[in-house]
C-alpha cells in the first residue's frame, strides 16, 4: 500500500484524508534535496523501521520493525561523516540529531527510506514520518501528523508499504 502525502498538507490513510505538516521550505524533487534545506523530498519512500519513546507511548501495533528509543539514540546529519543518515549513539563526534526529545514530536517515528541505500552526502538525512507540533508548524523536511492518525497508519502498514510525497492536489 502507498500512503500519499501531498504538498497541500493532506495525507491519505487507507482512503481517509488527514492533515499533515511538511517541510518549512515546501517540497522539492529528491534530486534537488540538500542537507538542512528544510524541504520534504518528492518521491516514494519505503517504511524502514518504527521508533517509539517507551516512557510516553506503548509500542505501536504494526507489521513494521519496532524499536524502543533510549536517551542515547541519535541520527547523524553530518555530510561527509561515515554514519551520515544513519542511527548513532550520543554523544557522537559529528553532528547528530537527538531522537529523545522533550517536545513529543519524536514519541513515534517512522524512518523513511530516503537517501539510505547507500546514503549520498549531502542529499538529506533523517526524513521521517513523525508527530506534528500542536500548532502544525512546518517540519525540517519530514512529514508530520496527529498521534491518532500515525497510529492508524501504523496499524495498516507493513514492510512492503511506503509513503509517497507528491505535489499538491495530486491523486494517485
Whole-number pLDDT of residue 168? 79
Whole-number pLDDT of residue 171? 55
Structural domains in the chain plus CATH codes: 2-166 (2.40.440.10)
Per-residue pLDDT of the chain (172 residues; tens, 9 = 90+): 999 999 999 999 999 999 999 999 999 999 999 999 999 999 999 999 999 999 999 999 999 999 999 999 999 999 999 999 999 999 999 999 999 999 999 999 999 999 999 999 999 999 999 999 999 999 999 999 999 999 999 999 999 999 999 997 655 5
Per-residue pLDDT tens over the stretch 142-158: 999 999 999 999 999 99
Helix (H) or strand (E) holding 134: none
Catalogue the E-assigned strands of the chain: 2-6, 10-13, 16-19, 27-29, 40-52, 66-68, 73-76, 87-89, 96-98, 108-112, 128-131, 143-145, 162-166
Per-residue pLDDT tens over the stretch 74-103: 999 999 999 999 999 999 999 999 999 999
pTM for this predicted structure: 0.96
- Which distant-in-sequence residues (6+ apart) come within 8 Å of 42 by Cβ? 27, 28, 29, 30, 165, 166, 167
Comparing CA positions, the residue from 154, 126, 136, 145 lying closest to residue 41 is: 126
Instruction: Say how far apart CA 84 and CA 78 lie, in whole Å.
Output: 6
Amino acid at each position: 500500500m502507498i500512503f500519499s502525502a501531498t504538498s497541500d498538507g493532506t495525507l491519505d490513510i487507507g482512503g481517509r484524508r488527514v492533515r499533515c505538516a511538511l517541510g518549512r521550505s515546501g517540497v522539492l524533487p529528491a534530486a534537488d534535496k540538500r542537507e538542512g534545506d528544510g524541504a520534504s523530498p518528492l518521491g516514494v519512500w519505503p517504511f524502514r523501521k518504527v521508533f517509539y519513546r517507551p516512557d510516553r507511548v506503548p509500542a505501536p501495533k504494526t507489521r513494521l520493525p519496532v524499536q524502543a528509543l533510549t536517551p542515547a539514540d541519535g541520527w547523524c546529519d553530518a555530510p561527509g561523516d561515515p554514519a551520515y543518515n544513519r542511527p548513532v549513539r550520543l554523544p557522537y563526534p559529528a553532528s547528530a540529531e537527538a531522537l529523545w526529545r522533550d517536545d513529543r514530536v519524536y514519541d513515534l517515528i517512522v524512518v523513511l527510506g530516503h537517501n539510505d541505500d547507500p546514503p549520498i552526502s549531502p542529499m538529506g538525512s533523517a526524513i521521517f514520518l513523525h508527530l506534528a507540533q500542536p500548532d502544525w508548524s512546518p517540519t525540517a523536511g519530514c512529514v508530520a501528523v496527529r498521534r491518532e492518525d500515525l497510529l492508524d497508519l501504523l496499524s495498516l502498514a507493513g514492510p512492503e508499504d511506503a509513503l509517497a510525497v507528491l505535489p499538491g492536489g495530486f491523486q494517485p
